[in-house]
Amino acid sequence: MAFHGGKDRLVYWAVQLACFSPILIFVLQAFTGGLTANPIEFVLRQLGVWGLRLLVVGLALTPVARLLRQPGLTRYRRAVGLWAFTYVCLHLTTYIGVDQLFDWRTIGKDIVKRPYITIGMAAFVLLIPLAVTSMDRLTRRLGPRRWKRLHQLTYMVAPLGVVHYYLLVKADHRPPLVYGAVVLALLGYRLANGQIERRRAAARKAAKDAGKSQPLRA
């Protein structure tokens, strides 16, 4: 990621600190007894929620940058996306190592029998290539077109994360419904903007072709 001044670096580190701050809050809560009566379930769920939140933020950066006419905001998508992947990894690691104590037989049964775990695992698998190809070397090797096409998987991962969260919650479904509404709005914006860009590209091509077809005048 290239920066063009001290202000860019300051914003970049502010983004990093903001993404890291939930972990600091967990540590503080651990020392002050704020992890509720069931700390494993609390941390497990909150890690997943933060992963989903950062996925949503990553999706929102491009439309927000366009609406505010601040294209520089999009350069922080990779940092936010990698932090989202980090929280999802911590969420999964807590489930496997702390909640299930590496009981692979039980974990396998959960994946097959519990839809919310099946969906969560599917979302995690789709996130892996996105995280791996965020490295500059692989980005250059893929090329911008293939890289962009691959990273459209984000538009599948975020809805899967919302469904995973909704099925996990047993009582108050309002939080996952709110995230679902936000994701739906962002995907709708993406779809509408894509259609507008395709129409503009078609109009430019038609104008260019019309210009080429006109005979030269002496």
pLDDT of residue 149: 82
Q: Quick one: pLDDT band at residue 206, thresholds 50, 70, 90?
A: confident
Q: Which two tokens stand for residue 150?
A: 């691959």
For the segment 185-212, the average pLDDT, to the nearest whole number, is 82
pLDDT of residue 208: 77
pLDDT of residue 60: 94
36-61 per-position pLDDT tens digit: 889 999 999 999 999 999 999 999 99
For the segment 126-149, the average pLDDT, to the nearest whole number, is 84
For the segment 65-74, the average pLDDT, to the nearest whole number, is 90
Nearest to 49 by CA among 148, 166, 145: 166
3-state secondary structure the chain: CCCCCHHHHHHHHHHHHHHHHHHHHHHHHHHHCCCCCCHHHHHHHHHHHHHHHHHHHHHHHHHHHHHHCCHHHHHHHHHHHHHHHHHHHHHHHHHHHHHCCCCHHHHHHHHHHCHHHHHHHHHHHHHHHHHHCCCHHHHHHHCHHHHHHHHHHHHHHHHHHHHHHHHHCCCCCHHHHHHHHHHHHHHHHHHHHHHHHHHHHHHHHHHHHHHHHCCCCC
- Entry pTM: 0.88
Q: Is the predicted pLDDT of residue 198 greater than 60, yes or no?
A: yes
Indicate the range of 8-12, 30-34, 69-73, 140-144 predicted with least confidence: 140-144
pLDDT of residue 3: 53
Q: Quick one: pLDDT band at residue 1, thresholds 50, 70, 90?
A: low
